[in-house]
């Protein structure tokens, strides 16, 4: 219990610590932001103090510039005065932008008004009338100039009054010298000057008094404004200093809190990392254990699946082998002279074996479907004939219950390509199911072409019965494993039939659905896709003219005595001669010395298995090199079918088998082999293309070159194959393919090319396939040698 709660406690603690660390980090981050904001705010007051000091300096520059202007009356000082006033106003605007407190803004507005008033007063000082005396003396100078000009004009007029004759004949007049100083000496002009001087003196006294009065007034106003400016600047500087101190105190407090949070965060984070690391280590260790447990479980599951498969195969073999004997001997006895009671007993035995076989087949098929080992065949068949044959198999069942068994077809194609065995299994399961749960009425089967497309068709099959029906709440479960329509009756099968049918339909990529009404019957609808084909299905020659079985000589190879006795009884009944082998080694010895028409050989035998014997026989050029071999097995698994194909077994017959089934497969194998042996094989080459390139000598030379090079390549091929050097094997095959193409040996080229590609991919070539390759090459060489021999004759 503690172990199960530990991860939750640890996880909760980790979550709490994570949340706590997050809060501490958040508070630390917030306080750091406050400190940064405080530092930024502290920078502003210092800037404000600096700007206020700049205003004081600019005001000093204003007074200095005005003072210099008054004494020198130079315009540059007036320009400096105006620039300082403008600079002060600009600094005030900067302070207004950097501050938003109303009291500071109001103070700055007042300071700006005072500075402007100061400038106005100083400007008025500069405009005082210090030049009034100069104007008086300038007027006096003008009057004196008028007097001088008047004297000069009078003298000029006297000289012009002389007559023309006097100027022409008279003697020259004496030049009279005169001076303007004499003019100033006159009383009239002296009085004018005195009057002007008196006026100047009087006016100077009045003007001096007025100027002193203005200067005093302006000085008082300027001092008052300067005092107010100084007081206001001092007040503002004190505010800024107090604010700096307050912000510094606040920053210290925030710093103390921040330091506390940072300390707590510094402690929490390592603790959190330590716990996280601990949790991670624990998680990794537990994950590793879980992974190991999963790997172990997977290996155990795979091992269990293999053991289950092997167990089913073994049990199938162990059950089917005696069942084969029971069923076979029961059928033989049923053909004998029995009284009525004995006939009934044997018939019950026969039915029981059929029922047991059906159940066993369901279990094995279900196991294969679960493991995904069932693969669909692809061969042409006639769906109408298949349906008729299928219903013949269940006629006895329907007759036993007095049920009608009818079928109809509509627009079915003549030939389709697919898996006829699995279609028959689907239909048998559905028809059996209908017969099983129907007591009155019958079972009706219909088949039609649902839809077709280019090269394909969908066939629809319906199996309808008049049985007990399926309740609505049970219809969606009937395709589950081990489910039955009537749960109360457990004696009617394993509950696997419909589940197997559903899986088989899914493998076909088809559809199946059920339509049922309780007490009225059930209809199953199946749709399956097939390919259309013009190829006729393989002819079933079991019902054709029967070969003379009495002339056949068959080898029976089986280690089970009752299987041998059953086959012996069947063959005696049909006057077929036979030999007996009890193990694989004895069977091989008999095959090496005796010529047989058909060989019946069990898959599992001591000393040598059936596939091992077949592979060895096929690889040797002995009497039974091409004899049909029928493999007998209780389990037709994919592995068995693969071994049969690779070893050269012609047909596989599953136990228990019916006598007719056995005889049919024997007749089919024997007849096909006889037809193959009687059919002349076409020439494996064509020399037309070589003849078009040259004369007969050229053709002969090319054929002889191919024969000699191919023999050398065969020796090299043996060497590479024995060393399992597949890449080099592919190279040798490629050397043979090129000249074989010139000889138009298409069948050989096809065989060699497929094995060349496999060898290049690193795939091993089985001994049986290798022998086929060698025999095919040798057959071409022999044919070419025969051709040359015939040409030379």
498 and 368 in a single domain? The answer is: yes
3-state secondary structure 747-766: HHHHHHHHHHHHHHCCCCCC
**How far apart, in Å, are the Cα atoms of 781 and each of 206, 485, 700?**
156, 67, 13
Above pLDDT 70, what percent of the chain?
Answer: 71
521 and 579 in a single domain? The answer is: no
Mean pLDDT for 636-663 is 78
Please indicate, yes or no, if residue 235 is contained in any of the structural domains.
no
Question: Among 89-103, 249-263, 559-573, where is mean pLDDT lowest?
Answer: 249-263
Residues 380-389: pLDDT tens digits? 889 998 898 8
Q: Give the C-alpha separation, 531 to 779, whole Å.
A: 37
CB 182 within 8 A of CB 148: no
* Torsion sign (Cα): 228, 233, 234, 236: positive
Our CA angle for 626, 628, 629, nearest 5°, is: 115
Give me the domain span that covers residue 582: 547-678
417 and 560 in a single domain? The answer is: no
- List all residues 6 or more positions away from 424 whose beta carbon is below 8 Å from its beta carbon: 386, 389, 390
DSSP structure string for 281-295:
HHHHHHHHHHHHHHH
- List all residues 6 or more positions away from 485 whose beta carbon is below 8 Å from its beta carbon: 437, 468, 470, 474, 478
Mean pLDDT for 649-660 is 80
Q: Give the C-alpha separation, 56 to 60, whole Å.
A: 6
Last residue of a domain, one of 678, 696, 730: 678
618 and 488 in a single domain? The answer is: no
Distance of CA 274 to the CA centre of its chain: 36
CB atoms within 10 A of CB 282: 13
**The domain spanning residue 586 has which CATH number?**
3.40.50.2300
Amino acid 445: pLDDT:
92
Buried b (16+ CB within 10 A) or exposed e, 245-280: eebeeebeebeeebeebbebbeebeeebeeeeeeee
The answer to whether residue 157 scores a pLDDT higher than 60 is no
Amino acid 661: pLDDT:
78
Please indicate, yes or no, if residue 402 is contained in any of the structural domains.
yes
Amino acid 353: pLDDT:
75
Please indicate, yes or no, if residue 266 is contained in any of the structural domains.
no
* Torsion sign (Cα): 115, 119, 124, 126: positive
Amino acid 355: pLDDT:
64
636 and 515 in a single domain? The answer is: no
Mean pLDDT for 147-165 is 46
Q: Give the C-alpha separation, 180 to 81, whole Å.
A: 49
Amino acid 730: pLDDT:
87
**How far apart, in Å, are the Cα atoms of 773 and each of 642, 779, 784, 785?**
19, 10, 17, 18
The answer to whether residue 287 scores a pLDDT higher than 90 is no
Q: Give the C-alpha separation, 603 to 558, whole Å.
A: 8
- Quick one: which of 468, 30, 74, 95 has its CA closest to 261? 30
Amino acid 283: pLDDT:
76
**The domain spanning residue 415 has which CATH number?**
3.30.565.10
520 and 388 in a single domain? The answer is: yes
Ordered strands of the 577-581 beta sheet: 577-581, 553-557, 598-602, 629-633, 651-654
More confident residue, 638 or 177: 638
Question: Among 240-244, 511-515, 716-720, where is mean pLDDT lowest?
Answer: 240-244
The DSSP output letter for 479 is T
442 and 582 in a single domain? The answer is: no
736 and 772 in a single domain? The answer is: yes
Residues 694-750: pLDDT tens digits? 677 777 878 888 888 888 888 888 888 888 888 888 888 888 887 887 787 877 888
692 and 663 in a single domain? The answer is: no
Amino acid 555: pLDDT:
92
470 and 352 in a single domain? The answer is: yes
pLDDT category of residue 671 using cuts at 50, 70 and 90:
low
659 and 703 in a single domain? The answer is: no
Strand partners of residue 644:
none
Amino acid 213: pLDDT:
62
Counting DSSP H helices and E strands in the chain, the numbers are: 22, 12
Q: Give the C-alpha separation, 305 to 46, whole Å.
A: 86
The answer to whether residue 546 scores a pLDDT higher than 60 is no
CB 532 within 8 A of CB 416: yes
Provide the number of structural domains found in the chain: 3
**How far apart, in Å, are the Cα atoms of 205 and each of 139, 202, 210?**
18, 5, 9
Mean pLDDT for 285-306 is 82
- List all residues 6 or more positions away from 88 whose beta carbon is below 8 Å from its beta carbon: 55, 58, 59, 62, 115
3-state secondary structure 38-81: HHHHHHHHHHHHHHHHHHHHHHHHHHHHHHHHHHHCCHHHHHHH
Amino acid 147: pLDDT:
52
3-state secondary structure 369-400: HHHCCCCCCCEEECHHHHHHHHHHHCHHHHHH
More confident residue, 240 or 419: 419
Our CA angle for 64, 70, 74, nearest 5°, is: 90
Please indicate, yes or no, if residue 254 is contained in any of the structural domains.
no
3-state secondary structure 144-189: HHHHHHHHHHHHHHHHCCCCHHHHHCCCCCCCCCCCCHHHHCCHHH
Amino acid 461: pLDDT:
93
Last residue of a domain, one of 627, 644, 678: 678
**The domain spanning residue 694 has which CATH number?**
1.20.120.160
Q: Give the C-alpha separation, 21 to 270, whole Å.
A: 10
Q: Give the C-alpha separation, 669 to 720, whole Å.
A: 36
- φ/ψ (deg, to 5) at 465: -130, 170
460 and 506 in a single domain? The answer is: yes
The answer to whether residue 180 scores a pLDDT higher than 50 is no
Please indicate, yes or no, if residue 66 is contained in any of the structural domains.
no
The answer to whether residue 152 scores a pLDDT higher than 50 is no
User: Of 329-338, 366-375, 388-397, 493-502, where does the model show the most confidence?
Assistant: 388-397
Please indicate, yes or no, if residue 305 is contained in any of the structural domains.
no
- φ/ψ (deg, to 5) at 528: -130, 140
The answer to whether residue 462 scores a pLDDT higher than 90 is yes
pLDDT category of residue 525 using cuts at 50, 70 and 90:
very high
- Quick one: which of 610, 615, 617, 616 has its CA closest to 596? 617
pLDDT category of residue 174 using cuts at 50, 70 and 90:
very low
Residues 555-611: pLDDT tens digits? 999 988 878 888 888 888 888 899 999 999 999 999 888 889 899 998 888 888 888
More confident residue, 410 or 29: 410
The DSSP output letter for 532 is E
Q: Give the C-alpha separation, 346 to 324, whole Å.
A: 15
More confident residue, 501 or 218: 501
Mean pLDDT for 638-667 is 80
pLDDT category of residue 27 using cuts at 50, 70 and 90:
low
More confident residue, 173 or 82: 82
* Residue that the structure tokens 């206001």 belong to: 232
Amino acid 526: pLDDT:
92
Amino acid 172: pLDDT:
45
Mean pLDDT for 624-630 is 85
Amino acid 290: pLDDT:
84
Mean pLDDT for 460-480 is 83
Please indicate, yes or no, if residue 714 is contained in any of the structural domains.
yes
Average pLDDT in the chain? 75
* Torsion sign (Cα): 707, 712, 715, 719: negative
Please indicate, yes or no, if residue 99 is contained in any of the structural domains.
no
More confident residue, 776 or 215: 776
Last residue of a domain, one of 658, 678, 698: 678
Q: Give the C-alpha separation, 562 to 327, whole Å.
A: 11
- φ/ψ (deg, to 5) at 631: -85, 135
CB 111 within 8 A of CB 59: no
């Amino acid at each position: 219990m503690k172990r199960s709660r530990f991860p939750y406690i640890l996880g909760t603690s980790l979550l709490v610590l994570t949340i706590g660390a997050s809060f501490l980090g958040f508070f630390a981050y917030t306080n750091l932001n406050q400190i940064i904001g405080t530092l930024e705010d502290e920078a502003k007051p210092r800037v404000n103090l600096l700007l206020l000091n700049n205003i004081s300096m600019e005001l000093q520059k204003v007074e200095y510039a005005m003072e210099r202007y008054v004494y020198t009356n130079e315009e540059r000082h007036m320009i400096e005065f105006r620039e300082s006033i403008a600079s002060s106003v600009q600094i005030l605007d900067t302070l207004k932008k950097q501050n938003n407190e109303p009291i500071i803004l109001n103070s700055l507005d007042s300071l700006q008004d005072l500075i402007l008033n100061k400038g106005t007063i100083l400007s008025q000082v500069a405009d005082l009338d210090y030049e009034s005396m100069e104007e008086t003396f300038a007027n006096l100078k003008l009057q004196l100039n008028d007097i001088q000009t008047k004297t000069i004009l009078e003298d000029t007029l006297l000289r012009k009054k002389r007559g023309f004759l006097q100027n022409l004949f008279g003697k020259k007049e004496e030049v009279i010298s005169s001076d303007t100083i004499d003019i100033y000496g006159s009383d009239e002009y002296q009085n004018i000057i005195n009057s002007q001087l008196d006026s100047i003196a009087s006016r100077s006294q009045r003007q001096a008094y007025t100027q002193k009065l203005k200067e005093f007034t302006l000085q008082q106003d300027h001092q008052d404004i300067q005092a107010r400016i100084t007081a206001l600047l001092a007040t503002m500087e004190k505010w800024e200093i107090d604010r700096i101190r307050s912000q510094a105190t606040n920053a210290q407090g925030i710093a103390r809190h921040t330091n506390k949070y940072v300390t707590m965060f510094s402690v929490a984070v390592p603790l959190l990392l330590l716990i996280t690391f601990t949790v991670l280590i624990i998680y990794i260790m537990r994950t590793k254990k879980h992974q190991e447990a999963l790997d172990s479980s997977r290996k155990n599951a795979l091992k269990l699946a293999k053991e289950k498969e092997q167990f089913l195969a073994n049990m199938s073999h162990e059950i089917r082998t005696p069942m084969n004997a029971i069923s076979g001997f029961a059928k033989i006895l049923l053909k004998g002279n029995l009284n009525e009671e004995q006939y009934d007993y044997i018939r019950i035995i026969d039915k029981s074996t059929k029922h047991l076989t059906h159940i066993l087949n369901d279990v094995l098929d279900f196991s294969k479907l679960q493991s995904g080992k069932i693969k669909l065949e692809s061969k042409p068949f006639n769906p109408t004939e298949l349906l008729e044959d299928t219903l013949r198999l269940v006629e006895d069942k329907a007759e036993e219950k007095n049920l009608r068994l009818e079928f109809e077809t509509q627009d079915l194609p003549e030939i389709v390509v697919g898996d006829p065995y699995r279609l028959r299994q689907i239909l048998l399961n559905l028809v059996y199911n209908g017969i099983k749960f129907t007591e009155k009425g019958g079972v009706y089967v219909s088949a039609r072409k649902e839809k077709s497309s280019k090269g394909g068709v969908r066939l629809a099959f319906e199996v309808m019965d008049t049985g007990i029906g399926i309740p609505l709440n049970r219809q969606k479960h009937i395709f589950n494993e081990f489910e039955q329509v009537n749960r109360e009756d457990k004696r009617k099968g394993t509950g696997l039939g419909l589940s197997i049918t559903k899986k088989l339909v899914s493998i076909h990529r088809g559809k199946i659905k059920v339509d049922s009404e309780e007490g009225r019957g059930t209809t199953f609808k199946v749709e399956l896709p097939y390919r259309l084909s013009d190829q006729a299905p393989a002819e079933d020659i079991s019902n054709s003219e029967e070969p003379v079985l009495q002339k056949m000589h068959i080898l029976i190879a089986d280690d089970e005595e009752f299987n041998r006795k059953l086959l012996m009884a069947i063959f005696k009944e049909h006057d077929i001669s036979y030999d007996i082998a009890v193990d694989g080694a004895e069977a091989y010895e008999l095959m090496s010395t005796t010529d047989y028409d058909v060989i019946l050989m069990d898959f599992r035998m001591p000393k040598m298995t059936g596939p091992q014997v077949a592979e060895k026989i096929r690889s040797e050029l002995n009497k039974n090199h091409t004899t049909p071999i029928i493999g007998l097995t209780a389990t037709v698994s994919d592995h068995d079918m693969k071994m049969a194909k690779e070893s050269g077994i012609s047909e596989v017959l599953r136990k228990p088998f019916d006598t007719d089934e056995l005889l049919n497969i024997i007749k089919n194998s024997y007849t096909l082999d006889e037809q193959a042996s009687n059919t002349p094989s076409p020439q494996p080459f064509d020399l037309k293309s070589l003849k078009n390139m040259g004369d007969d000598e050229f053709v002969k030379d090319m054929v002889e070159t191919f024969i000699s090079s191919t023999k050398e390549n065969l020796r090299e091929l043996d060497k590479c194959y024995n060393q399992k050097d597949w890449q080099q094997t592919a190279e040798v095959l490629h050397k043979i393919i090129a000249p074989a193409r010139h000889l138009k040996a298409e069948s050989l080229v096809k065989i060699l090319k497929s094995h060349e590609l496999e060898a290049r991919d690193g795939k091993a070539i089985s001994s049986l396939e290798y022998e086929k390759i060698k025999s095919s090459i040798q057959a071409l060489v022999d044919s070419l040698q025969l051709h040359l021999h015939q040409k030379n004759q």
